[in-house]
Amino acid sequence: MNAGVYVIGIGPGHLEGMTAEAVHILQQCTHIVGYTTYIRLLQKNFPHAVYFTTPMTREIERCQQAVQWAREGKRVALISGGDAGLYGMAGLVYEVSAGYEEVEIHVIAGVTAAMAGAALLGAPLVNDTCFISLSDALTPWNTIAHRLHCAASGDFVIVLYNPTSKRRRNYVQKACRIIQAYRSPATPVGVAQYIGREGEKTRLLTLKELAQLELNMISTVFIGNSHTRIIRGHMVTSRGYAIQEKEK
Amino acid sequence: MNAGVYVIGIGPGHLEGMTAEAVHILQQCTHIVGYTTYIRLLQKNFPHAVYFTTPMTREIERCQQAVQWAREGKRVALISGGDAGLYGMAGLVYEVSAGYEEVEIHVIAGVTAAMAGAALLGAPLVNDTCFISLSDALTPWNTIAHRLHCAASGDFVIVLYNPTSKRRRNYVQKACRIIQAYRSPATPVGVAQYIGREGEKTRLLTLKELAQLELNMISTVFIGNSHTRIIRGHMVTSRGYAIQEKEK
């Protein structure tokens, strides 16, 4: 395995949810860089490595350290929660490493929160889906609001990432107000929290109820489309197969 | 492990791309059901099981067999390519099993083609993204076209699943015509083919070039948004971090 930066999606956070490829590469990396909370989840399984951790919002620093170590000839794992590519660190490390063409970058895909949460809720993503982050730290709210309009108008299933934060307590409510202009108040909604971690929990509710709900930061929100129903206590978006009743 | 149907996303198809959880459950299932091509990819690793395979378009039959075996007390793996939930078999098995509440269903998430392909191309999905299937076998073209308009207008990165088939040779061109009304012809586009399998290949092009391209069926297409650039020969969507040049 060459020196370089291996950007690894660790999935929901438990070792069982990682791909074998990710585990094998982590075993061979001598240096591991990541957000403090994620590193705490995996450090005990990879005790051999030198670690560099920073808290939230210091992503650029982490990428810089990873690139720096790679330039020194190390095999460096840069950890992302979920998938490294979906709202993950993969983009930033390409940006930070521009100018250091000699640094190899490899992205190792993982199971993102939308997939892991969907599996717990049932099968909400079986039809066309949008992922929208409600964080306006890097995207202006006007852009987010326009995307919510577009996604709702297009009858996409909508997965909300970063739905809330201390500073953004009412953003899910703002999003609901937009979506309610297009969808029935009875539209099924699923919320998954602490996916794959201690305290994992899901709940099913309606779009109308979501507008009243207090969420925590570690939540992923799934808003059904016009084909989403509750079947056997699970949230399922129909793809449109005609199931012949008599054959069931 | 209980009797029931375990709907398992096997990722791109090689064992290294599966989660440890998926592998462990497959080892414990006595019966495995799946699309012929996917079963061919994994059968040698799980020789202990009884198999039931059908070719494409016979998804309902597969689900019915899985539910039937589960009703007889078997532990059954129902295989999906990529992730079991994203355009996968998870939805259909809930629909087919309605009325058999005694049959346990568990969905095991996997790495979908969008994540695996994105990892090969660079980091195209670091901002808000839509997944759209161009197959009109179960969704009317008018709905698909409206979704393409919405996704393009919302400046989402767009991932096209099922972009083409023998019967739908010009559908990518139809999609491009819609998207070009909103996006520059120079917009970066990535195509990933045979992800994780023999013949794996990627190419970068522009939206204008995509409209001329002949694709094969085993392709996933990534259309950038206004923040997508080519960095170091890879397709990267910026999330908007302000990287201070002097600190790099």
Predicted confidence (pLDDT) per residue in B18-41, tens digit? 999 999 999 999 999 999 988 988
Q: What percent of chain B has pLDDT over 90?
A: 77
Residue of A147, A195, A234 best to disrupt the B interface, most CBs of B under 10 A:
A147
Question: Does A126 contact B91 at a Cβ distance shorter than 8 Å?
Answer: yes
Residue B247 has pLDDT above 60, yes or no: no
- Selecting from A119, A139, A153 the residue whose C-beta is nearest the C-beta of B108 gives A119
pLDDT tens across B95-140, in order? Answer: 999 889 999 999 999 999 999 999 999 999 999 999 999 999 889 9
Contacts of A133 (CB under 8 A, 6+ apart): A87, A139, A144, A160, A161, A162, B127, B128
In chain B, which segments carry CATH 3.30.950.10?
Answer: 114-237
User: Which are the contacts of B212, defined by CB distance < 8 A and separation ≥ 6?
Assistant: none
Neighbours of B142 (CB within 10 A): 9
Round the average pLDDT of chain B to a whole number and report it. Answer: 92
Residue B240 has its nearest CB partner, among A11, A16, A139, at A139
- Segment B74-84 shows an average pLDDT of 94
A18 closest CB neighbour out of B19, B83, B239: B19
Cβ contacts (< 8 Å) between B243 and chain A: which residues?
60, 95-96
Give the residue ranges of chain A where pLDDT is below 50: 245-248
The dihedral sign for the CA sequence A15, A21, A22, A27: positive
Domain(s) labelled CATH 3.40.1010.10 in chain B stretch across 4-111
Contact (CB<8Å) A126/B87: yes
Q: Alpha-carbon distance B39 to B32, whole Å?
A: 9
What's the confidence (pLDDT) of residue A242?
67
Which chain A positions have a beta carbon within 8 Å of B132's beta carbon?
128
Query: How far from A141 is each of A135, A136, A163, A175, B183, CA to CA, in Å?
Result: 8, 6, 13, 10, 21
Locate all alpha helices (DSSP H) within chain B, ordered by sequence.
20-28, 36-42, 59-71, 90-96, 113-121, 141-153, 171-179, 207-210
List CB contacts (< 8 A) between A20 and chain B.
15-20, 23
Collapsed DSSP state (helix, strand, coil) of residue B167: coil
**A-interface mutation test, from B5, B19, B195, B241, most A Cβ less than 10 A away:** B19
Q: Name which of A93, A115, A232 is nearest B83 (Cβ-Cβ).
A: A115
Main-chain phi, psi angles of B20, to 5 degrees: -60, -40
pLDDT confidence bin for B242, thresholds 50/70/90: low
Q: In chain B, which residue's Cα lies nearest the Cα of A127?
A: B87
Q: What is the pLDDT of residue B245?
A: 46
Confidence (pLDDT) at B70: 97
Q: Which residue of A7, A121, A241 to mutate against B (max B Cβ within 10 Å)?
A: A241
What confidence tier does B243 reach under pLDDT thresholds 50, 70, 90?
Answer: low
Q: Could you tell me which of A112, A43, A128 has the C-alpha nearest to residue A80?
A: A112
Q: Which CATH number fits domain A4-111: 3.30.2010.10, 3.40.50.1100, 3.40.50.720, 3.40.1010.10?
A: 3.40.1010.10
Q: Does residue B62 have a pLDDT over 50?
A: yes
3-state secondary structure of B165: coil
Instruction: Output the pLDDT for position A245.
Output: 45
Looking up tokens 């400046």, which residue turns up?
A: B155
Interface of B with A in 61-80 (CB under 8 A): 64
Region label for A165, one of left (φ > 0), alpha (ψ between -120 and 50) or beta (otherwise): beta
| B92 interfaces chain A, CB cutoff of 8 Å | yes
* CATH H superfamily, domain A114-237: Tetrapyrrole methylase, C-terminal domain (3.30.950.10)
Q: How far apart are CA A21 and CA A38, in angstroms?
A: 18
Amino acid (1-letter code) at residue A158: I
Contacts with B, A 181-200, CB within 8 Å: none
Residue in B85, B125, B238 nearest the CB of A123: B85
Residues whose CB is less than 8 angstroms from the CB of residue A237 and which lie 6 or more positions away in sequence, other chains included:
A123, A124, A125, A126, A127, A157, A224, A225, A227, A228, A229, B91
Higher-confidence position of B197 and B180:
B180
Cα gap A98→B245, rounded to integer Å: 10
Which pLDDT value is given to residue A227?
94
- Of all residues in chain A, the one with the smallest CA distance to B155 is A147
- Beta bridge partner(s), residue B223: B158, B189
